[in-house]
Amino acid sequence: MALWRGSAYAGFLALAVGCVFLLEPELPGSALRSLWSSLCLGPAPAPPGPVSPEGRLAAAWDALIVRPVRRWRRVAVGVNACVDVVLSGVKLLQALGLSPGNGKDHSILHSRNDLEEAFIHFMGKGAAAERFFSDKETFHDIAQVASEFPGAQHYVGGNAALIGQKFAANSDLKQVFPAVTSLGLNEQELLFLTQSASGPHSSLSSWNGVPDVGMVSDILFWILKEHGRSKSRASDLTRIHFHTLVYHILATVDGHWANQLAAVAAGARVAGTQACATETIDTSRVSLRAPQEFMTSHSEAGSRIVLNPNKPVVEWHREGISFHFTPVLVCKDPIRTVGLGDAISAEGLFYSEVHPHY
């Protein structure tokens, strides 16, 4: 009889809980856990799924990233290629007979000492840099030492070759169309653009650590408003994919692009997988370093955003321009970073959809 009563109680409980879910499907989880505990049935089972911020963010990306309805038919790729030599910068300086000294930026490199000073300057900031080397013979000697250094790795390089490789793996056709509609920029390139044209925040000499999201947003808005497509301007520029180490932003002129939520997530995801040389995000090898909260603008009254790993893509709008932000899961011990920016731009474009009127 006691066994029958226990079964009956369980049956009634299941029926009652079923009614609760049917009538109040949005009932908070905390209320259901309290109900469960009050019935002395032990602790409620933990919800399945990843618990770390990195795991929740990666799972959210996977759910968000869908291929566009309209697939690419034509791909514009410039003609340039090179060989990237990858090795330790410190070991290269040692092989060149250079010892660490004081760092100093040089807009143009003329000698080995200039290389050493520029390397130390930017390594201290944790930033990448590109500089023109004016002395052809000295540059050739340095390149030869680097190429022949034990353990040096050689990869296909150059923006066009790397983007072409990425599209070749995902597209059936590789044709060229003449109009440039999209830009991919890192933090140095973005700052150079605004400095050269006296745009927003052009008084900055360099970024202080992680580029401020509001400042980046202001500059992207200015580029598209002043130089992008509009009713009174013939420019085809309608999209900018900004990427820095810890976050990405896609800025688009409204009415020209779709699927940008998936595109920005895909670009950020490939940053983590390629840097760690993994097929999928390995949450034990990446970390979430993006700002936990930020302002969307400093030029106007922006909104304050608080980062939520369960909803990793944040969207806001400003005068006909849409912004999509997502953090990056940064590889703790990167294996391959050469060409990472190009892979990011190509992946974001692959998941983007151009509206039919284009």
Active-site positions read: 342
User: Which residues pair with residue 169 across a beta bridge?
Assistant: none
Amino acid at 125: K
Core vs surface per residue 101-131: b (16+ CB within 10 A) or e: eeeeebeebeebebbbbbbbbbeeeebeeee
Q: How far apart are CA 345 and CA 342, in angstroms?
A: 5
Contacts of 18 (CB under 8 A, 6+ apart): none
Between helix 2-23 and helix 29-38 the angle, nearest 10°, is 160
Terminal CA-CA length for the chain: 75
Contact (CB, 8 A) for 60 and 310: yes
**C-alpha distances out from residue 246 to 56, 60, 107, 271, Å:** 17, 17, 26, 10
